[in-house]
């Protein structure tokens, strides 16, 4: 009997440990878009557990559901059925204000199109998320300056965002994504509008944030080269995960392809 008791305790401990270490758990989720009376099923039973600190790449053809998954992960859209747990919390139990708070505190977004305000300085763009936070104004300047330095743009701090190259704009977007020190970075085709050299600089930054700061990075890309920065590569097709593999050839800073 004693042995059985210990075994149960050990299993319970293991289960608890697993739940704690997965920052994200999608359990058999579906997503239907409903426009007027037209229902479009887009995700069909997606299961995805992401441990804290993992760098995961999501690949798939256009229309396969990658952005839908990203929107759900970032609390920008809701699932139709199934369960989404973030840090062990059932997301469906949260109201809109709680979701906005969770998003602001835990998720940094990096988009293909940078989404910076034009004719607004680098400093102001990076500051923006702090305006809606409870960070006291006296501390904001230092935090903003640090993040801008981190992405190597200290010399551009007073430039307008439309005076920057694409690569520099994406680095501003990364600084903005980091401003509230999120655990998770959602990067949706972050190199899609960049030349290969600028793309590598951006990917190296995401790699460093993962390796050195332990950020969980969730990357959507259609490029195998870029996906290989991830420790794990998930492929989606027609709203279903068709493969989910650890990447034995993870790209590092030292094995860049020759520049074109
Ligand atoms: P991906 O990011 O892989 O290109 P998406 O997640 O954007 O794919 O889209 C998946 C499918 O869902 C596509 O067929 C798309 O047309 C459809 N879809 C996306 N958003 C909506 C919407 N708001 N209403 C109806 N269908 C949508």
- pLDDT tens per residue across span 213-255: 999 999 999 999 999 999 999 999 999 999 999 999 898 877 6
Write the CB contacts of 152 (distance below 8 Å, at least 6 apart in sequence): 171
CA–centroid distance, residue 225 to ligand 1 (Å): 24
Does an H or E element contain 169, and which? helix 166-178
Residues 2-44 pLDDT 10s: 333 443 344 444 444 444 589 999 999 999 999 999 999 999 9
- Which residue in 205, 204, 213 sits closest to 184, CA to CA? 213
Closest atom of ligand 1 to 62 CA is 4
Closest atom of ligand 1 to 236 CA is 3
CA–centroid distance, residue 68 to ligand 1 (Å): 7
Q: Which residues line ligand 1 (CB under 6 A)?
A: 33, 35, 40, 42, 60, 62-68
CA–centroid distance, residue 79 to ligand 1 (Å): 14
Yes or no: say if 228 and 255 are a contact pair by the CB < 8 Å rule. no
Give the chain's mean pLDDT. 90
HSE, CB side, 13 Å, CA atoms: give it for residue 77: 19
- pTM for the complete prediction? 0.90
């Amino acid at each position: 009997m004693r042995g059985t008791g210990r075994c149960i305790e050990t299993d319970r401990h293991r289960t608890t440990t697993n739940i704690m270490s997965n920052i994200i758990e999608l359990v058999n989720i579906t997503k239907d878009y409903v426009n007027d009376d037209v229902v479009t099923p887009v995700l069909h039973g997606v299961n995805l557990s992401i441990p804290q600190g993992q760098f995961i790449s999501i690949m798939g053809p256009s229309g396969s559901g990658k952005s839908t998954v990203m929107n759900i992960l970032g609390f920008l859209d809701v699932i139709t059925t199934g369960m989404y747990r973030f840090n062990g919390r059932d997301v469906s139990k949260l109201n809109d204000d709680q979701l906005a708070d969770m998003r602001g505190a835990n998720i940094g977004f990096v988009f293909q199109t940078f989404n910076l305000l034009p004719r607004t300085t680098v400093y102001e763009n990076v500051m923006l998320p702090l305006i809606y936070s409870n960070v006291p104004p006296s501390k904001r300047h230092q935090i903003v300056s640090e993040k801008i330095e981190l992405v190597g743009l200290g010399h551009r701090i007073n430039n307008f965002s439309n005076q920057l190259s694409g690569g520099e704009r994406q680095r501003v977007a990364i600084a903005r994504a980091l401003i509230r020190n999120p655990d998770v970075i959602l990067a949706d085709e972050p190199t899609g509008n960049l030349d290969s050299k600028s793309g590598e600089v951006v990917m190296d930054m995401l790699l460093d944030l993962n390796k050195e700061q332990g950020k969980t990075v969730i990357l959507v890309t259609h490029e195998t080269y870029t996906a290989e920065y991830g420790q794990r590569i998930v492929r989606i097709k027609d709203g279903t995960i068709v493969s989910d593999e650890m990447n034995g050839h993870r790209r590092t800073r030292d094995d860049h392809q020759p520049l074109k």
